[in-house]
Amino acid sequence: MFGPNITVSAGTHPIHPELRSKQAQYNVPVHIGNNVWIGAHAVLLPGVKIGENTVIGAGSVVTKDLPDNVIAVGNPCRVIREINEEDRRYYHKKMEIDIE
């Protein structure tokens, strides 16, 4: 699931000014696993890999790979915790899920 206004950037430029002036660009793929939720206005930088079932908070800037089954937020984006069994029961601040 992708929130609104996310950026997935695969293009990057060399750091050396002489190469940059020649308008060199490199493309480094971004890999997004299955069942990932990326919050609104998040930015994924070139070369990152997002693990399966991972949740990325709104406004996060992902600069490094994220493992499977975690919640990650911030700038730079950091893992705050793993997704666990309690997440099956609650969806927001102890508000119970009632889907049965």
Active site residue 16: no
Going by C-alpha positions, the residue among 75, 14, 81 that lies closest to residue 43 is: 75
Going by C-alpha positions, the residue among 44, 46, 42 that lies closest to residue 57 is: 42
Q: Is 18 domain-assigned?
A: yes
Question: What's the CATH number where 43 sits?
Answer: 2.160.10.10
Report the C-alpha gap between 88 and 86 in whole angstroms: 5
| H or E stretch at 34 | none
Q: Is 19 domain-assigned?
A: yes
Confidence of residue 87 (pLDDT cuts 50, 70, 90): confident
Q: Is 28 domain-assigned?
A: yes
Digit-coded pLDDT (tens) for 34-46? 999 999 999 999 9
User: What is the overall mean pLDDT for the chain?
Assistant: 91
Range of the domain at 87: 7-96
Identity of residue 44: L
Q: How many domains does the chain have?
A: 1
